[in-house]
Chain A
Amino acid sequence: GAVVSQHPSWVICKSGTSVKIECRSLDFQATTMFWYRQFPKQSLMLMATSNEGSKATYEQGVEKDKFLINHASLTLSTLTVTSAHPEDSSFYICSARQRGGGAMNTEAFFGQGTRLTVV
C-alpha cells in the first residue's frame, strides 16, 4: 500500500516552454501533497505544500507564478514549470500524505521523481 506514482520520469524541454508533472496516489487518498526539488548531491528542498481543493502554500523563495501547483482531487496533484529555463533543470519529487486520523497521517510517501532538463 501507499504507492505514489509520478509522471513523467524524465523530460527534456526547450527553454521558454512549460512542463507539467503529475503526482498520483494510487491506493490511498492524499489530503496533502508536497513538491520537492533536489539538485545533485543535495537534500530535498520543499517547494510547496498543496491541500486538496485549496491553494498551495509555497516556501520562501519559490515563485508561485513559475511553479504552478494544482491539487484538484484527493489522488492527483500537478506541478507545472512555466517558461522553463536551464537553471530550472533539476530532480522534482512529489510526496503524498494519507488522509485519516492517527499516526499514519504524518507519514509521507514519495513518487519516483522526475528529471527535468531544460535546453
Chain B
Amino acid sequence: GQQLNQSPQSMFIQEGEDVSMNCTSSSIFNTWLWYKQDPGEGPVLLIALYKAGELTSNGRLTAQFGITRKDSFLNISASIPSDVGIYFCARSSYDKVIFGPGTSLSVIP
C-alpha cells in the first residue's frame, strides 16, 4: 500500500489566496517529487527535492524537503484558476516512484 500521506485531501480557495499542502512519510527518503495532474492527463513534474532542508522555488511554487527527511510541503502563492488540479507528492528511490493519495485543489474565481 501507499507509504505516503497527504493533507489536506481537498481544498477550496479563493483566487489570489496562498495555498499550502503537506506530505508525510513513515520512512526516510532521499528524493521528494511534487507533481500536478490535470483531468485526463499524465502528471507533470513541478519540483524535485534532493537534500534535507532544501527549499526550492518554481515560479509561484515553493517546496521544502523536511529536515527529518520524512516530510515535505508545497506552497502556491497568489493562486489562479489554472492552479486547479490534483497535486501529488512522490518518493523516488532507485527502483520505483511511489505516489501519495493527492490533494485536490479548487480555485474559486
Contact = CB atoms under 8 A, between A and B. Distances in A.
Interface string B20-41: 0000000000110101000011
A57 interface: yes
A116 to B, nearest CB: 13
B42 A49 contact: no
A57 B2 contact: no
Contacts of A115: 40
Contacts, number: 63
Q: Determine the main DSSP class of A at the interface with B.
A: strand
Given A107-B45, A112-B42, A113-B42, A46 B98 contact: yes
Interface stretch (B59-67, B68-76, B88-96): B88-96
A43 interface: yes
A34 B97 contact: yes
A7 to B, nearest CB: 12
Residues of A in contact with B, size category? 20 to 34
Which of B40, B42, B96, B99 has the most chain A CB within a 10 Å cutoff? B42
B48 interface: yes
A109 B45 contact: yes
Contacts of B43: 44, 93, 95, 110
B3 to A, nearest CB: 12
A43 B43 CA distance: 11
Interface of A: 4, 6, 32, 34, 36, 42-46, 49, 57, 91, 93, 95, 97, 103, 106-113, 115
Given A43-B101, A107-B31, A107-B33, 11 more contacts: A6-B42, A32-B95, A43-B100, A44-B99, A95-B43, A103-B48, A107-B45, A108-B90, A109-B45, A110-B44, A110-B45
